[in-house]
Amino acid sequence: MSTERWIRFVAGSFVLISLGLGQFVSAYFRLFTLFVGANLVQSALTGFCPLTFLLRALGAGDSPAQKVQR
């Protein structure tokens, strides 16, 4: 899976998890949803995403076949 798809997967998972925790545990967990949303907006505007560095360090990069298709 490409780095971009991993970022979407992780961000979507964090949003769903934090909304569930906000509903059933504490409303303050919704602040994490706000943080994820703000990070997605700044990433779209600046092109910088901290999660990219973590994913690449873990080996979740683009495969050579995916780089050719771009």
**Could you tell me what percent of the chain has a pLDDT over 70?**
86
pLDDT digits (tens, 9 = 90+) for 12-41: 999 999 999 999 999 999 999 999 999 999
Q: Give Rg (Cα) of the chain.
A: 14
Is the dihedral angle over the CA atoms 25, 52, 8, 63 positive or is it negative?
Answer: negative
Q: Exposure of 18 by Cβ count < 10 A (0-12 exposed, 13-18 middle, 19+ buried)?
A: buried
pLDDT of 50 > 60? The answer is yes
Tell me what pLDDT residue 53 has: 87
